[in-house]
Structure 1
Amino acid sequence: METLSAPLISLPNRSIANNNLHFRNHQILSTIDQCSSGKQLKQVHAQMLRTGLFFDPFSASKLIAASALKSSSTLEYARDMFDQIPHPNLYTWNTLIRAYASSPDPFQSFMIFLALLDEYDDLPNNFTFPFVIKAASELKASRVGRAVHGMAIKLSLGMDQYILNSLVRFYGACGDLNMAERLFEGISCKDVVSWNSMISAFAQGNCPEDALELFLKMEGANVMPNSVTMVGVLSACAKKLDLEFGRWVCSYIERKEIRVDLTLCNAMLDMYAKCGSIGDAEKLFDEMPERDVFSWTTMLDGYAKMGDFNAARKVFDEMPVKEIAAWNALISAYERNGKPKEALATFNELQLSKIAKPDEVTLVSSLSACAQLGTIDLGGWIHVYIKREGINLNGHLITSLIDMYAKCGALEKALEVFYAVEEKDVYVWSAMIAGLGMHGRGKAAIELLFKMQEAKVKPNDVTFMNVLCACSHAGLVDEGRALFHEMEPVYGVVPGAKHYACMVDILGRAGFLEEAMELINEMPTTPSASVWGALLGACSLHMNVELAELASDQLLKLEPRNHGAIVLLSNVYAKTGRWDKVSELRKLMRDSELKKEPGCSSVEVNGIVHEFLVGDNSHPLSRDIYSKLDEIAAKLKSVGYEPNKSHLLQLIEEDDVKEHALSLHSEKLAIAFGLISLAPSQPIRVVKNLRICGDCHEVAKLISRVYNQDILVQDRYRFHHFRDGHCSCMDYW
């Protein structure tokens, strides 16, 4: 068989070719339509080369169109054929631009379009522009698309229906909904594609109400919707979490007898899952005649969001093909729902299975799980994996790496990642500011904010939340006040509820409770739960019973089942010796079936995470751990340590029992295990789910000095680095 690698055959005598042209056109060209594989198309190509028919522009265009629009593999062959044609016609140029616009490499559409402008005698037509604009939509290439739009206007094609429809879709994809709507309104005779383009633009642009409203207008205009319309409408229902309207849409599809293909079925499934109607999703899923990876992944994600991880795992195990999207759905579901161990176990399973290759989403979720658990060994391995595989370090990955290293106690490593990146977006800067803040380096966080401005990167609401948190952890009250008051007039960022909560925390921690209360009263909006929570936490630190009762009351009005509010108020009562009030609150919790979150500490040893609860004796080395605790107690007493029994927030009469209860706190168990399992040169990294208590904080300082071992504790709010009898927080936390 002759292929493109063979030398070109000379054209036959023109008279012979003309005599037989009608026969050849009828016989060979009709064969093109019957080809079902790339191999058959190559055979036809060889025949056309032998007869010289390939050099007839119309005939060549028919063969190239069949190859280009069949699959990605034959598209490359079509491109090679195209390069062999001396004078391809405009139809052939358009065919190749169209094919690449829908391919995995839409950028090639632009390259061919530029070649068309440079090499072809005639100008592009109204069929050329929609395909180039589609490529711009796929790549979200805003500047290129606008240039193409301008070119279409100059060629008097700006009001062409097909081009306008493509432009509405393009501007919607690029997030310019105003321009998309202006063009849509300018279409004099809107067809179903026009309406679909605008509905999809609204749905994808997080304007679901506008999408649904436009669909009702479409109905009023007597334009019959199709399956594409309904996909956009269902997407809007899913984003709006409007189950009632979503169900109506599904019945509408059935009533209007709209053709239901796999894409539309998946849209209905996605709507049910996102709106929390897992029963409807199950019924539809079971009835689907065809399913793809999206169908399976949607069900998996739906179960995970409902907290039914057993069902999610069952769906995952039953999937016929486990593409990386399915692995990502399971890993991220675990990670988002406070199950970092399960997330990392699934990541490890992915690595061992070699079924699919981790992508950016996999690595971001896994790094976040490492940050939650403080597993720096695995987090560091993922960093090495990213380098080894040559994975592009985009903003998401850089942010995740900085966050992971900072939360695992390796602040210098986080800074190393940060400074190695040349192009830093606002989220990268914000992540590094957060990392410095959680390590108590408030002044360094503020300095980084100023460097961010020098780099011409505008801070956003997240940046300010992080820098205000940094001020809170470092006790930088004046600096925090100044930044808070400059947010809107200087930086154009309107303070939100979270910023007010940070400011209340700054003032409250420093003991300025009255000023914190004044700030709450001056808020332009109703104070949120986070604001009252910050005040309640400050009252707990400074034992202000009256304000604590007010804050707790307001917080429970907003979140009646917030057990943390009751626990904090109970702590205030306990610290001030009001045990009758403590008993009342405990009874309230029992009657309401609310349970206090148990203290839990974990420590990583040789890549394995070991967890401890208060008074835990379930660990295989439990006997050795408690023996080590006795040794620690004896050594600390010899250097003058006395247990701070005021941190015991329950009524225990006997002093020796109080002392024993304090020694059973989960972080002490984790530190003891670290001492028997790690060499003195290895830091003990502990992750605590609650705020570390004052007694444990004092004990950790002393252990770091007596045993000459670094101890790093990440509690719920910040990082503590204990070394040589001191803590990085400077006893302000």
Structure 2
Amino acid sequence: MATFITPPLSLPHHTNLPNSTSPNIDNDRYFANHPTVLLISQCTSLKSLKQVHAQMLRSGIFFDPFSASKLITASALSPYSSLDYARQVFDQIPQPNLYTWNTLIRAYASSPDPTQSLLLFLQMLLQCEHFPDKFTFPFLFKAASELKAFRVGRVFHGMVIKASLSTDIFVLNSLVHFYGSCGNLDFAYGVFLKIPRKDVVSWNSIIMGFARGGYPEEALDVFRGMEKENVKPNDVTMVGVLLACAKKLDLEFGRWVCSYIEKNEISVSLTLSNAILDMYMKCGSVEEAKKWFDRMQERDIFTWTTMLDGYAKLGEYDEARRVFDAMPCQDIAAWNALISAYEQNSKPKEALAIFRELQLRKDAKPDEVTLVCALSASAQLGAMDLGRWIHVYIKKRGIKLNCHLTTSLIDMYSKGGDLDKALEVFCSAESKDVFVWSAMIAGLAMHGHGRAAIDLFSKMLEAKVQPNAVTFTNVLCACSHTGLVNEGRTLFYQMEPVHGVVPGEKHYACMVDILGRSGLLDEAVELTEKMPIARTASVWGALLGACRLHGNLELAEKACSNLLELDPRNHGAYVLLSNIYAKTGKWDRVSGLRKVMRDSGLKKEPGCSSIEVNGVVHEFLAGDSSHPLSMEIYSKLDEVAARLKSVGYVPNKSYLLQHVEEEDMKEQALNLHSEKLAIAFGLITMVPSQPIRVVKNLRICGDCHSVAKLISRLYDREILLRDRYRFHYFREGNCSCMDYW
């Protein structure tokens, strides 16, 4: 450590002090061999360190910069360290030396609150007589990396250049790591190229930066360059290379890397062992992952979670649960892996069952990830009671609403049918990123508030928030649901030139839907022909849906043919074309399509509707008779049917997918649709003041739409029905969609 001249000290008289107390002596290391200072290295607990601190105060050597720095190091960096205590000690030092400043900056950089590292640095600039050195900046870059504080790091980079430290290998390596962590890989690679003598840390930093930043091929290219330069890789290098293999899903190269590790006798640390396991799992080789897992002599929570997460994402839920139950310690990351796997694979009921189990077990507390997953599952299922409970839980626990949680709450309330609450969450949010704005625009869109969605999009631009591809998908959907053709057309053609967002397949599909719904089929076809990207199944699906609305059989057959060419297993295409044939009375063609589906082993996705009553979600399939209250439900349906007929209701039989000769059988088939069963259940179990909220997995059919409108008037009930695409809010015989859907 470099020595520094400190200001004169007035030390208390003590029999153990050296005789010479010249005011100008260099006090650093003066007391290095003092018995009390030597005791610091022997401390094994914070209590014993505090006892040494007390002795140092009594003897006066605490005011010696070197002695104080030793105490700070133990307080901040030892296994029993306490940053709070270290800071209290630091604040008592009259004039800390540079080493002491650096030590505390380093400790804060690795702490849960790296911001304190930056604040301490600012204090250092004001109070320390020495300029930051080559040891200061790597810690600052680490703190900036943790905070993803790109602009702050750029300022530090400028200071490095000004201090003539831009050739120091430690500083440059930390810079590469910083830029990589912030996702600016061009800057990271630029700094890497300027390192005159690259060491293994230099290569590791850029390999890891590319691998984590989503550029696995570049990471592997750098690794090959490292080999050409004859720089011997270590276990950290191989972790980065394996991460790149996992991102590329390149199992063969991953196997080669494992052989390379063995051949070059690279030490296999636990971190590297976990990386090998992760590579096998992500590349889909469960057997090799299992073999490696069984070989591992040391395992940590990451090891177990990797196996759990891998099985869960592959849909092997029984194996995932077996691993979970075998874990020696089930931390919240393990619970999250299981919950998110179900939630992301459209199994919201199972996800919420695991979430409830977590609450009952109480061996881990839900964190932000848990709550986001649970809210998403609640949104999928329409489980508003649980969603509201989670919101209350967040408030009671004092959990700060970051953008992830805010987005999830908006999504949950929007999909649960409580748009006012979604808007309340949005308006009260302190921080709104592009995903928060996009979620609220989506909420307005699905509820049929097209104008409001466009107005919110304008406010987003006024707030200087840059829209992304998701934002435009949502706002174009809003235009589609409410027939805002001109507005949609304007937004679509402004995407790239004004906002720099290149239209993708979803945006073209939305635009085709906007034009097609409004009857502008020729313009929709022209748009598909001029698309600069390949026409996808979603684009042809949008055109086919428009043909169903407007009865254009010839174009429908063309769109269906193209759709099935791209996606031969798309049962929805057959269903849509069957609907068009049925609408025009071409039952022979309906039968022909059904035969093709049977011969191909394709089945129409069964309609499923769910309704939440007193916190319990009840599900109904078409024609379902498994519910405990099935007799009461069908009795209610008979009553409803009689009341509907009394006011002139005539069933729309074109929504049947097969030709049924007997008229009463046609009516019965329509009466068994899942949403009607769910509504009937709501009528017999919920008080009149409660809105009936139904979630359907498919698009609501026209007959069910007409029936829901009439029920809302005849029974004076509010019915909120969410289908696959949007919300229908039935009240007093009307629907919020204004029959434009």
Q: Same fold (TM over 0.5)?
A: yes
Question: CA contact under 8 A between 2:32 and 2:66: conserved in structure 1?
Answer: no
Specify whether residues 129 and 486 from structure 1 end up closer, same or farther in structure 2 by C-alpha distance, changes over 3 A only. Answer: closer
Residue in structure 2 matching 1:687, options 680, 695, 715: 695
Equivalent position of 1:580 in the other structure: 588
* 2:646 is the alignment partner of 1:638: yes
Equivalent position of 1:328 in the other structure: 336
Specify whether residues 660 and 232 from structure 1 end up closer, same or farther in structure 2 by C-alpha distance, changes over 3 A only. Answer: same
Equivalent position of 2:298 in the other structure: 290
Q: CA deviation at 1:435?
A: 1.2
Specify whether residues 45 and 457 from structure 1 end up closer, same or farther in structure 2 by C-alpha distance, changes over 3 A only. Answer: closer
Equivalent position of 1:133 in the other structure: 141
Matched residues in 1 for 2:674 and 2:532: separation?
Answer: 42
CA deviation string 1:446-466 (max 9, x = no partner): 222222223332322222111
Equivalent position of 1:145 in the other structure: 153
Equivalent position of 1:233 in the other structure: 241
Matched residues in 2 for 1:91 and 1:490: separation?
Answer: 52
CA RMSD, aligned part only?
2.3
Q: Which moved more, 1:685-694 or 1:251-260?
A: 251-260
Equivalent position of 1:548 in the other structure: 556
Q: Which moved more, 1:518-527 or 1:278-287?
A: 278-287
Residue in structure 2 matching 1:411, options 413, 419, 425: 419
CA deviation string 1:364-383 (max 9, x = no partner): 11111111111111112222
CA deviation string 1:283-303 (max 9, x = no partner): 222222222222222211111
Q: CA deviation at 1:35?
A: 4.0
AA aligned to 1:417 is V
* 2:616 is the alignment partner of 1:608: yes
Question: CA contact under 8 A between 1:72 and 1:103: conserved in structure 2?
Answer: no
Q: CA deviation at 1:702?
A: 0.6
Q: CA deviation at 1:405?
A: 1.2
Question: CA contact under 8 A between 1:701 and 1:724: conserved in structure 2?
Answer: yes
Residue in structure 2 matching 1:12, options 11, 14, 35: 14
How many corresponding residue pairs?
Answer: 725
* TM-score (norm. length: structure 1): 0.94
Specify whether residues 449 and 64 from structure 1 end up closer, same or farther in structure 2 by C-alpha distance, changes over 3 A only. Answer: closer
AA aligned to 1:531 is V
Matched residues in 1 for 2:412 and 2:487: separation?
Answer: 27
Question: CA contact under 8 A between 1:299 and 1:312: conserved in structure 2?
Answer: yes
Equivalent position of 1:448 in the other structure: 456
Q: Which moved more, 1:416-425 or 1:601-610?
A: 416-425
Q: CA deviation at 1:659?
A: 0.9
Q: What secondary structure is seen at the aligned counterpart in 2 of 1:680?
A: coil
AA aligned to 1:207 is Y
For 1:165-564, list aligned pairs within 5 A: 165-564=173-572
Matched residues in 2 for 1:653 and 1:173: separation?
Answer: 67
CA deviation string 1:707-726 (max 9, x = no partner): 00011100011110111111
CA deviation string 1:481-529 (max 9, x = no partner): 2222222233332211111100111122222222211111110111111
Question: CA contact under 8 A between 2:12 and 2:59: conserved in structure 1?
Answer: no
The share of aligned pairs that are identical, in percent, is 70
Matched residues in 2 for 1:423 and 1:93: separation?
Answer: 33
AA aligned to 1:356 is A
Q: CA deviation at 1:472?
A: 1.0
Gaps of 5+ in 2: 1-9, 22-28
Question: CA contact under 8 A between 2:234 and 2:267: conserved in structure 1?
Answer: yes
Matched residues in 1 for 2:570 and 2:95: separation?
Answer: 74
Specify whether residues 648 and 17 from structure 1 end up closer, same or farther in structure 2 by C-alpha distance, changes over 3 A only. Answer: farther
Equivalent position of 1:90 in the other structure: 98
Specify whether residues 651 and 262 from structure 1 end up closer, same or farther in structure 2 by C-alpha distance, changes over 3 A only. Answer: same
* 2:66 is the alignment partner of 1:58: yes
Matched residues in 2 for 1:211 and 1:145: separation?
Answer: 23
Matched residues in 2 for 1:117 and 1:309: separation?
Answer: 55
Question: CA contact under 8 A between 2:402 and 2:431: conserved in structure 1?
Answer: no
AA aligned to 1:271 is M
Q: Which moved more, 1:600-609 or 1:128-137?
A: 128-137
AA aligned to 1:187 is I
Question: CA contact under 8 A between 2:145 and 2:182: conserved in structure 1?
Answer: yes
Q: CA deviation at 1:438?
A: 1.0
Q: Which moved more, 1:680-689 or 1:317-326?
A: 317-326
* 2:69 is the alignment partner of 1:67: no
Equivalent position of 1:4 in the other structure: none
CA deviation string 1:379-409 (max 9, x = no partner): 1222222222222122222221111111111
Question: CA contact under 8 A between 1:575 and 1:649: conserved in structure 2?
Answer: no
Q: CA deviation at 1:603?
A: 0.5
Question: CA contact under 8 A between 1:9 and 1:50: conserved in structure 2?
Answer: no
Q: CA deviation at 1:700?
A: 0.6
AA aligned to 1:123 is F
Q: What secondary structure is seen at the aligned counterpart in 1 of 2:611?
A: strand
Matched residues in 2 for 1:79 and 1:488: separation?
Answer: 52
Q: What secondary structure is seen at the aligned counterpart in 1 of 2:721?
A: strand
Matched residues in 2 for 1:172 and 1:72: separation?
Answer: 32
CA deviation string 1:566-601 (max 9, x = no partner): 332233333333333333333333333222210000
Gaps of 5+ in 1: 1-7
Matched residues in 2 for 1:268 and 1:67: separation?
Answer: 36
* TM-score (norm. length: structure 2): 0.93
Q: What secondary structure is seen at the aligned counterpart in 1 of 2:693?
A: strand
Equivalent position of 2:668 in the other structure: 660
Matched residues in 1 for 2:696 and 2:410: separation?
Answer: 20
